Amino acid sequence: MSIFRFQSRAHFLGSVARAMVACAAVGFAMLGAGGAAHAATTPTGERPAPGTMPATGTSSAPGISSPAPAQTVTDLAGRTIRIPANPHRILLGESRLLMAVALLEGKQPLERIVGWQGDLPTMDPQTFDAYAEQFPGIRQVPLIGKATEDSISDEKALSLKPDLAIFSLAGHGPSRYNALVKQLEATGTTVVFVDFRLHPMQNTLPSIELLGKVMHREPEANAYAQFYQQHLARVQAVVKQIPLQQRPTVFIDLLAGAWDAGCCHTAGNGNFGEFIQAAGGRNIAAGLLPGVLGDISMEQIIAARPDVYIATGSRTKPGLASLRVGALTSEHDAQASLATLVARPGFDTIKAIHDGDVHGISHNYYDSPYNIVAIEAFAKWFYPQQFKDLDVNATQAELYRRFLAVPPDGAYWVDGVKGAASTVASHSTGG
């Protein structure tokens, strides 16, 4: 496997440019034709809806070999961008965007990636190690920064000469107005923004569709969209029959125990909060936080009397009670870490913990197109009778079997020892 494949196109264009300088008259003609072929405008001058690809010129006659007209698409930042003709060198902002790219790249998820930030090995080392077992080259992918936007080296990113750069609307990578965006675009790189983090229920499928177009993986993107929609429809068909006041109230404790400030970081109107709503729950923080993410106090949680408590996490931290779930994690370790979390002083005054309706799930669903798995797990926790035939393990196994090269091997979600029977706890090995 080569993850550092170079193209000869740059050398070819350099030769053409030198020839154009030597032959001024021919050069001007070629420049005029080239500019028309690569203009990235829409026919009407209006911004196309996400997922559209309006052509900017007329098609060539059959049998005539000529450059295809440039096509454009609107990304999740509302920017009209040119679809690259044949991208071989892909730069990621956050390396956790690998989860989205891998869906579309089949058996070679790293083949076209030439660089990224270091957040995946830092924030989800288990998944990084799982990929490294099958693709050792992941350890040699060049880093353009660590796990923060201000750590990114523009010079390093530009030196990788990407055809396509994929960034997130929010998170730890280059933001919409980062200077690197314009610098990359000035070199001819297509820069595209996706969103799996802020409003995943609205933006997951448009983001996958967008990636399918700019990566030239539309069949794979369409197949995943169909898979996602089918599974979501099954959940929604049950949830829509349940009156609002009969739906359970839910508190989700994000990266539970990992914050030095103590309790409690959570999702309000967006992110995991949208998964709660999609699964038929009522998020207690939706009316307490003005935005997507934020902090609420223990007093607010106790007063809200949530019916269900969900902790998120990825790995334990020395000296802190935190949830260990995810790749390469045993169900035993996952349950032990959840038991330690809910045993923290004062937490038994939270209604859901007192009642034993406690659960844990991988934090990394918060910024992943695999969030349909989290939605199904939530639905089964909220309505165990209505969803008694829903097999979340089978959904996860199907996702990996059909779309991914690295199968799951670990407990990605877990029930508390005093909760319902562990029909949802998973350490699937795929297949």
- Position 68 scores a pLDDT of 53
Is residue 247 helix, strand or coil? coil
Cβ-based neighbours of 236, under 8 Å, separated by 6 or more = 278
* CB 372, CB 400: distance < 8 Å: no
Distance CA 134, CA 430 (A): 14
Q: Distances from the Cα of 311 to the Cαs of 66, 254, 325, 346, 363, in angstroms?
A: 56, 6, 10, 16, 8
Q: Which residue has the higher pLDDT, 422 or 151?
A: 151
pLDDT in tens, 29-46: 333 434 333 333 333 333
For 97, 332, 334, the CA distances from 410, given in Å and listed in that order, are 20, 10, 9
Residues 428, 362 contacting (CB under 8 angstroms):
no
Nearest to 143 by CA among 157, 131, 127, 161: 157
Cα–Cα distance measured from residue 112 to residue 97, given in angstroms and rounded to the nearest whole number:
13
At 245 the three-state DSSP class reads: helix
Q: Which of 166-180, 348-362, 413-427 has the lowest mean pLDDT?
A: 413-427
* HSE toward the beta carbon, residue 107, CA cutoff 13 A: 1
Euclidean distance between CA atoms 184 and 192, whole angstroms = 11
Please, which pLDDT band fits residue 339 given cuts at 50, 70 and 90?
very high
Mean of the pLDDT values across residues 256-281? 92
- Per residue in 58-111, pLDDT (tens digit) is 333 333 334 456 799 999 999 999 999 999 999 999 999 999 999 999 999 999
Phi-psi region of 401 (alpha: psi -120 to 50; beta: other; left: phi over 0): alpha
**How far is it, in rounded angstroms, from Cα 216 to Cα 428?**
31
The answer, yes or no, to whether residue 431 has pLDDT greater than 90, is no
User: Are 224 and 369 within 8 A, CB to CB?
Assistant: yes
- The residue written with tokens 């609420």 in the block is 296
What are the pLDDT digits (tens) for 285-304?
A: 999 999 999 999 999 999 99
Question: pLDDT at position 414, please?
Answer: 96
* Mean pLDDT of all residues in 228-245: 98
Per the listing, tokens 């349909």 go with: 372
The whole-number average pLDDT for the span 363-383 is 97
One-letter identity of residue 191? V
Q: Cα–Cα distance between 390 and 353 in angstroms, integer?
A: 25
- What's the pLDDT at 352? 97
